[in-house]
Amino acid sequence: MGEGISRRSFVRAGGALGLLALVPRARLEELLAASARAAGTGGGHFLTAHELDTLRAVCGRLVPGPPDDPDPGAREAHVPEAIDLLLGAFRVSPPMIHAGGPFSRRAGGKRDDFTHFVRLDRHAALGWRIRLEGTRGKRQREFAGPVRGLQQIYREGLAHLDSRAAGHFAALPGPAQDAILSDQSDDQVQELVGVALSNTLEAMYGPPEYGGNRGLVGWKYTHWPGDRQPRGYTDAQVSGLDAGGPGFKLDAKALRGMERFLPALAGVRPSRERFWLRSRGLRGR
C-alpha cells in the first residue's frame, strides 16, 4: 500500500474509512458460486468471464492479499464477485439493493434478516437504475442530465485496461499493473480506479451478506466485532478495554508512511473549504 506502512496498520489507525455496506442479496451462496465459476467458460451476473478476470486483478492490487500482504485481500474476500453482483442487481427480484433487518443472526437473532431484500418503490428503483445503468438517453432518466452508470464505467474501463496491457491486464505482473493503475495522465483509468476503490472498500469491510468480506476476513485482522444486536455488549465490555486488543502503536517509519495517505496527520492546515476542522479537538483528523 505504501512504503513504511502495512494495510493492517493503515486500516487500524485510519479509522475514518468506516465499515461501509455493499448491495446484499438473497441466495448468497448460490449467487457467489455462480460468479466464482465465471473464470471458466461462463460469465458473472453482469460481467463476462474475461471482464471479471480483469476486475479480480484490479481489486487484487487495490487491496492485496498473500503473498504481497500477510492478511487476506480483495480476492480472498470475494470482492470482485460482490461488485459483479452489484452491477447486475436488477437481474434478481427483488433487486439486490437494500438488505432487510434488523438482525444478522451473528449475535443471537433467529435468522439472517440481512439476506432478505427490501422491495424498492418506484422512485428508489429509478434512482438505482440511473446509478447502475446510466440514463442511456431515456427521457424519464435525464431529468438531471445524462449520467454514465457504473455498468458502463466498469465495462469500458476494464476494456481500456486490457488495451493498455496489449490484450490481457490480468496477465501482467503486479508492478506493471500498478504502473497502469497509477497513471494520472489517463482519465479513463482513473475513472475506473475511483469507482473500483470505493466499491472494493465497501465489499471488503462491509457485512458478509452484502457480497464481500468472505469469512469475515475484513473484520478479523482489524479486530472489528461486527454487528452485535440483539445480544449487544455487557457492562464490562462497554467499560473496559478488550482483552488482547490490537493496540494502535505506530513507529516513526509507519507514521511517515501513513502521512503519505492522510496528509492531515502531518499537521497540514485545513483548507478554507474545510474550516470546521480548525475547531479544537478536530485538527489533524
Q: Taking 80 as the threshold, does the pLDDT of residue 7 lie above it? A: no
Is 96 in contact with 85 (CB distance < 8 Å)?
Answer: yes
Considering the entire predicted model, what is its pTM?
0.73
**Grid coordinates of 119:** 422491495
Does 15 map to a domain? no
Q: Output the pLDDT for position 25.
A: 40
Does 258 map to a domain? no
Q: Output the pLDDT for position 20.
A: 33
Q: Output the pLDDT for position 283.
A: 39
Task: Give the confidence band of 153 by pLDDT, cuts at 50, 70, 90.
Answer: very high
Does 278 map to a domain? no
Amino acid at 236: A
Does 14 map to a domain? no
By the 10 Å C-beta count (0-12 exposed, 13-18 middle, 19+ buried), 22 is classed as buried
Q: What is the CA radius of gyration of the chain?
A: 20
Mean pLDDT within 92-100: 83
Task: Give the confidence band of 8 by pLDDT, cuts at 50, 70, 90.
Answer: low
Q: Taking 80 as the threshold, does the pLDDT of residue 280 lie above it? A: no
Range of the domain at 137: 20-216
What's the chain's average pLDDT? 79
Cα 103 to Cα 9, 110, 228, 229, 231: the distances in Å are 30, 8, 9, 6, 10
Which region among 42-51, 96-105, 201-210, 268-277 has the lowest average model confidence (pLDDT)? Answer: 268-277
Does 259 map to a domain? no
Q: Domain count of the chain?
A: 1
Percent of the chain with pLDDT over 90: 45
pLDDT higher at 276 or 203 = 203
Does 94 map to a domain? yes
Q: Output the pLDDT for position 265.
A: 45
Q: Output the pLDDT for position 271.
A: 60
- Whole-angstrom distance, CA of residue 237 vs CA of residue 195: 37
Q: Taking 80 as the threshold, does the pLDDT of residue 6 lie above it? A: no
Is 233 in contact with 227 (CB distance < 8 Å)?
Answer: no
Task: Give the confidence band of 249 by pLDDT, cuts at 50, 70, 90.
Answer: low
Q: Output the pLDDT for position 38.
A: 46
**Residues shown for the chain:** 285
Question: Is the peptide bond prior to 67 cis by the omega test (within 30 degrees of 0)?
Answer: yes
Mean pLDDT within 30-42: 53
Q: Taking 70 as the threshold, does the pLDDT of residue 60 lie above it? A: yes
Biggest alpha carbon distance in the chain? Answer: 59
Does 197 map to a domain? yes
Q: Output the pLDDT for position 285.
A: 36
Does 33 map to a domain? yes
Amino acid at 255: L
